[in-house]
Amino acid sequence: MNSRNAIGPADGTGRFGRFGGQFVPETLMPCLRELEAEYLRAQNDPEFQAALAELLADYSGRPTPLYRARRLEKDFGGRARIYLKREDLNHTGAHKINNCLGQGLLAARMGKKRIVAETGAGQHGVASATVAALLGLECTVYMGEVDMERQEPNVRRMLLLGARVVPVSTGCRTLKDATSEAIRDWVANVEGTHYIIGSTVGPHPYPTMVRDFQAVIGQEAHRQIMAAEGRLPDAVVACVGGGSNAIGIFSSFLDDEVALYGVEAGGSDAGHSAALCLGEPGVLHGSFSYLLQDDDGQVLPAHSIAAGLDYPGVGPQHSHLKDTGRVTYTSVTDEQALRAFADLARLEGIIPALESSHALAYARDLAGTSDEGTVIVINLSGRGDKDTAEAGEAAK
Amino acid sequence: MTRLSSLTQRLRREGRKPLVPYLTAGYPDIETFAGVMGAAADAGCPLVEIGIPFSDPVADGPVIQAASQRVLEQGMTLRKTLDLAARASREHNLTVVLMGYLNPLLKMGLAAFADACGEAEVAGVIVPDLPLEESAGLRDLLLARDIDLVDLVAPTTDRKRLTEHAAAAGGFLYLVATTGVTGSTPGTNDHLEDYVARVRRDNPLPLYVGFGIADPSHAARVAACADGAIVGSALIRTIDAAEPGPAAVKAAAGFLTKMNAAMNSGKD
């Protein structure tokens, strides 16, 4: 046995290859069991599925459009046909609501009266606060102080929605530290509280459950591109922080001959958040996955201009897809992302989230070197209203 | 029987209720840390728990988080923690249990870690983010070197899981007193006695209670129903209240002596 992998149960529960697992304090284990069982029941319960489908349609506005960005195509060199999956048009402005509606219904089903959530960019916090308001649940959101400052509009939205926003002042005061604080709250209040993790990270069953709730993105995109082009795309591009929007859109194309690209935050001289490109496998926040860490196994600070990508870990299924080679993981810099942000606003009248701008920036490179008629789908995971101050500051 | 089990069983036979001090490796500095280890031995503590610092300790409250952060900034590592463990064991004849999160152990390699623990005369290892289901590999590696992987159980652990822990665990069973992180509001578990009795029914191991044990009255209450008590955040707060160096060592010695007396009054 390879000593580094001498962890994990023999039956491979909650594993993606060697990644995933349940590395949490004992206090939470019974709760994870309960959550897994309830989730499996909900999946097979037509009533739950109907309730979720109704909310996704009537409350969030799904299906979101697949939009052909013709002016962007021209700017990208004119050879590729570029489609944007408009997750930014969801209620609350990002794909995060897909997961929150699912987990919120699940929390209510389990009789939980309170939800906790972590947030980086604030999009998951806003989506959690929204769903809590909708379902009459109490909501506490942990957010790093640095992020509260740079994503200030979202803090105001959460407060307006009735959530309590708790500033996190430990560590780097960003998403990683907010996640640790949310876990501590959950450990202390596990009986009546459900933790809505915002990405495909954390202990099993979260990476699977969040992926399933986000899979609607890929299911729609698959259908929509077939309708528009009469064939599958050549490539699908999505940004990867924890990786929920990416796994959501990838999941419908994994078995097809479609090139899949996950774009991490390459950051700047100040650092990066490219766990898959530059990290090594390790355990953070409950799962075994690629991780930015030093020689002593201490987690390294991440950096990205996009608060939602500013995280040193990544979802375990992405780690597996990297190792199998099914998905190509790459990164773009803060600067490239900022340029893509401005380009989409100027050319298409769409202000993308800085997170999504990473996917746009890589798609430019991809389109520039592709053959005539190549079809590329970009997951535009969220809108960028929250980023106008940050982008303006960076442009100075 | 492992070294740790021999000790904990012997203490139980003799009716002694060990107070187990927890201190983050090298806190607040190497010298004071070594002094506190000596003070623990002098106060009659047979066992100590040494914390391996980690950047993201999700089971710990603010006091141990801050201690962990501080020693990391001072250059503490897993290797150096093992050196300090070896010193505590050799210089003060203390039985050392290490407590640390999984990632630094994985980074060293679990087999290399187990070897290093053997060389440092570590008797037990506690990994708060390695639940029973994930623990077989490390447990076997440690047991092959006469070291126990000490299991934690919580108030949320049901009877079935308790039975599974009983079958796997060694040394002692660490009872997390409250659902929460270390240094939680003390005395919040009104049902401590019932909880201990419930665990005892399914588990022959000595039961040591930790999380939120802050003063002699808590320690006495634990001693009345369980086999040992673990004190971490309150010890660190005591150290923090004094100047690092001899004053902190003296404060820690006084605190540990009082706690120990509360647990073993009327006994030598």
Residue-wise pLDDT tens digits, A318-343: 999 999 999 999 999 999 999 999 99
Q: Tell me the C-alpha distance between B27 and B69, whole Å.
A: 10
Q: Using the predicted structure, report yes or no on whether residue A304 has a pLDDT greater than 60.
A: yes
Chain A hits for B105, Cβ within 8 Å: 297
Identify whether the C-beta of residue A276 lies closer than 8 Å to the C-beta of residue A285: no
SS3 A380: strand
Q: Is the four-CA dihedral A355, A359, A360, A365 of positive or negative sign?
A: positive
Q: pLDDT tens digits for A91-102?
A: 999 999 999 999
Which range among A2-11, A205-214, A349-358 shows the weakest confidence by mean pLDDT? Answer: A2-11
- Nearest by CB: A190 against B105, B136, B179: B179
Predicted local confidence at residue A14, as pLDDT: 87
What residues of A act catalytically? 96, 118, 381
Predicted local confidence at residue A4, as pLDDT: 35
Cβ atoms < 10 Å from Cβ of A28: 25
Predicted local confidence at residue A274, as pLDDT: 97
Identify whether the C-beta of residue B179 lies closer than 8 Å to the C-beta of residue B154: yes
- Nearest by CB: A284 against B56, B77, B140: B56
Mean pLDDT of A65-73: 98
- Nearest by CB: B161 against A1, A30, A286: A30
Does residue B133 belong to the interface with chain A, where contact is any CB pair within 8 Å? yes
Q: Tell me the C-alpha distance between B120 and A359, whole Å.
A: 49
pLDDT band at A5 (very low <50, low <70, confident <90, very high): very low
Q: Where are the domains of chain B?
A: 13-149+210-260
- DSSP state, residue B123: E
- DSSP state, residue A290: E
SS3 A217: helix
pLDDT band at A2 (very low <50, low <70, confident <90, very high): very low
Tell me the shortest Cα–Cα distance from B115 to chain A, in angstroms: 12
Tell me the shortest Cα–Cα distance from A361 to chain B, in angstroms: 32
Contact: B161, A29; criterion CB under 8 Å: yes
Q: Tell me the C-alpha distance between A272 and A263, whole Å.
A: 12
pLDDT band at A8 (very low <50, low <70, confident <90, very high): low
Predicted local confidence at residue A224, as pLDDT: 98
The ipTM is 0.95
Question: Which distant-in-sequence residues (6+ apart) come within 8 Å of B71 by Cβ?
Answer: B24, B25, B26, B27, B53
SS3 B47: strand
Q: pLDDT tens digits for B64-99?
A: 999 999 999 999 999 999 999 999 999 999 999 999
Chain B hits for A6, Cβ within 8 Å: 110-111, 137-138, 140-141
Predicted local confidence at residue B267, as pLDDT: 54
Q: Tell me the C-alpha distance between A54 and A75, whole Å.
A: 38
Please give the residue of chain B at the shortest CA–CA distance from A15.
Answer: B134
Please give the residue of chain B at the shortest CA–CA distance from A289.
Answer: B103
What is the full DSSP assignment across B105-152?
HHHH-HHHHHHHHHHTTEEEEE-TT--GGG-HHHHHHHHTTT-EEPPE
Phi first, then psi, for residue A345 (nearest 5°) are -60, -45
Report domain B13-149+210-260's class: alpha beta
Q: How far is CA A74 from CA A185, A338, A354, A370, in A?
A: 50, 19, 22, 13
Token pair of A250 as six digits: 């990838």
Contact: B56, A285; criterion CB under 8 Å: yes
Contact: A3, B59; criterion CB under 8 Å: no
Token pair of A302 as six digits: 């991440």
Question: Which distant-in-sequence residues (6+ apart) come within 8 Å of B72 by Cβ?
Answer: A298, B53, B55
Q: pLDDT tens digits for A253-264?
A: 999 999 999 999
The percent of residues in chain B predicted with pLDDT above 70, rounded, is: 97
Q: Using the predicted structure, report yes or no on whether residue A55 has a pLDDT greater than 60.
A: yes
Q: Cis check for the bond before A25: say yes or no (omega within 30 of 0).
A: no
Set B29, B42, B60, B133: catalytic member: B60
Q: pLDDT tens digits for B158-168?
A: 999 999 999 99
Residue A209's nearest CA partner among A134, A101, A282, A59 is A101
Phi first, then psi, for residue B241 (nearest 5°) are -75, -10
Identify whether the C-beta of residue B181 lies closer than 8 Å to the C-beta of residue A186: no
Q: Using the predicted structure, report yes or no on whether residue A387 has a pLDDT greater than 60.
A: yes
Q: Using the predicted structure, report yes or no on whether residue B268 has a pLDDT greater than 50.
A: no
Q: pLDDT tens digits for B128-143?
A: 999 999 999 999 999 9
- Nearest by CB: A283 against B77, B106, B158: B106
Mean pLDDT of A29-34: 93
Token pair of B22 as six digits: 């927890």
Cβ atoms < 10 Å from Cβ of A159: 13
B49 among known catalytic residues: yes
pLDDT band at A1 (very low <50, low <70, confident <90, very high): very low
Predicted local confidence at residue A11, as pLDDT: 55
- Would the pTM count as exceeding 0.80? yes
Mean pLDDT over the full length of chain B: 95
Contact: B111, A188; criterion CB under 8 Å: no
User: Which residues numbered 42-61 in B keep a CB inside 8 Å of some CB on A?
Assistant: 54-59, 61
Q: pLDDT tens digits for B209-222?
A: 999 999 999 999 99
The percent of residues in chain B predicted with pLDDT above 90, rounded, is: 92
